[in-house]
Amino acid sequence: MEAADSLCLGCFANNGGRSPCPHCGWAQGTPAGSPLHLSPGTMLNDRYLLGKVLGHGGFGVTYLAWDLMLKVKLAIKEYLPRELATRAPGHTAVTIFSSERGFSFEKGLESFLDEARRLARFREHPNIVGIQDFFRANNTAYLVMNYIEGITFREYLERAGGKLPFSAALEIMMPVMDALREVHDNGILHRDISPDNIYISTTGQVKILDFGAARNVLGECSQSLSVVLKPGYAPEEQYRTRGEQGPVPYSARRRWCS
C-alpha cells in the first residue's frame, strides 16, 4: 500500500500525496458522493483500490479503480439495484430491503455474473470494452473492466453542434455494428444502444459499453421479457412485455435451452 499512498483517488496519477491533485484537482479526503457509494480508498478483493464514482444508475455504481497487481487504471461496476437493496452509511456490505426482495436480488446478481462470464470472451474485441475480472464481495458482485479515456457519443455530438456528416456518422456506427454482430452471434442482446453507451476514446477508437440491460438469450428460455428500454432509441418490440426480441428467433433459443 505504500506505493498507493502517492496515488490520487480522483485520477490515479502519482502526485506524491499532494492535495489538491495538480493533475485533476481532486482533494484528498473527499467523501463518497452518496451513502450508497463505497468510499474512495476502499479495497476490493485484496487487489483493487477504489477511487471516485464515474457513474451510477438504478442498477449499479461504476467506480474508477487501480489494480495494485498490474499497476493499471480500471473501471469497476458494482451490482446495486436501488429498488431491492441499500448500503448503510459507513458500511461496505449491501443490505437487501426485505426477504421478499431477496429472491429478485439474487436472481439479478446471478444474471450480472453470468453476463460477465459471457462478455469476458470478447475482451480482445476492438469495439467492446473488455471485461478483465468479476467476483462476489460485500453481499453483492463486481465487474472489472478496462478504463477508456474519452467521451460518450452524446458528448461528441454536442461538441459537433448536434449533428454529423453522413461519412462521420458511418465511421462511428460501423464499428458499433461489428460489435453487435459479434455479441448477437453468441446469443447476447445489449438492449440499450444509445449515444450514452457508445464511447469514443482519445485515440478515436469506438467502443460499446454498459451491458447492464443486456439479456443472455441462452439463459432466458422464455418469451416473456421485462420492458427495459430507452425512449427514442429502443425498437418497438421492446415496448411490449411479451415479444420476440433480437436477431435470434425464439425457436433457436428453445433449441439452445433444451
Look at residue 256 and tell me if it is in a domain: no
Domain range for 237: 7-251
**Residues in Cβ contact with 67 at an 8 Å cutoff, skipping those fewer than 6 apart:** 47, 48, 73, 74, 144
% the chain with pLDDT above 90: 55
More confident residue, 2 or 180: 180
pLDDT value at position 244? 65
Average pLDDT over residues 30-54: 95
**Structural domain total, the chain:** 1
- Which domain CATH number covers 102? 1.10.510.10
pLDDT over 70 (residue 64): yes
% the chain with pLDDT above 70: 83
Look at residue 2 and tell me if it is in a domain: no
pLDDT value at position 159? 96
With cut-offs at 50, 70 and 90, classify the pLDDT of residue 102.
Answer: confident
Q: What would the pLDDT profile of 164-197 be if each residue is shown by its tens digit?
A: 999 999 999 999 999 999 988 887 778 778 898 9
With cut-offs at 50, 70 and 90, classify the pLDDT of residue 93.
Answer: very high
Residue 77 assigned ligand-binding role: yes
Helix residue spans in the chain (DSSP H): 99-119, 153-159, 166-185, 217-220, 250-257
pLDDT value at position 213? 43
Alpha carbon distances (Å) from 115 to 108, 118, 122, 219:
10, 5, 12, 10
Look at residue 1 and tell me if it is in a domain: no
Tell me whether residue 192 is one of the annotated catalytic residues.
yes
Q: What would the pLDDT profile of 21-38 be if each residue is shown by its tens digit?
A: 999 999 999 999 898 999
For residue 138, the one-letter residue type is N
DSSP code per residue over 242-256: B---SSS-HHHHHHH
pLDDT value at position 98? 87
pLDDT value at position 108? 86
- Full 3-state SS string of 170-211: HHHHHHHHHHHHHHHHCCEECCCCCHHHEEEECCCCEEECCC
pLDDT over 90 (residue 58): no
Compute the mean pLDDT over every residue in the chain, rounded to the nearest whole number: 84
Look at residue 53 and tell me if it is in a domain: yes
With cut-offs at 50, 70 and 90, classify the pLDDT of residue 246.
Answer: low
**Running DSSP on this structure, what letter comes out for residue 6?**
G
3-state secondary structure of 27: coil
Look at residue 258 and tell me if it is in a domain: no
Q: What would the pLDDT profile of 199-211 be if each residue is shown by its tens digit?
A: 999 999 999 987 7
Look at residue 188 and tell me if it is in a domain: yes
Q: Please name the residue that has the C-alpha cell 442482446.
A: 189
**Residues in Cβ contact with 164 at an 8 Å cutoff, skipping those fewer than 6 apart:** 157, 172
More confident residue, 4 or 85: 85
Q: What would the pLDDT profile of 138-172 be if each residue is shown by its tens digit?
A: 999 999 999 999 999 999 999 999 999 999 999 99
Grid coordinates belonging to 184: 448477437
Catalytic residue of the set 178, 192, 196, 210: 192
pTM: 0.83
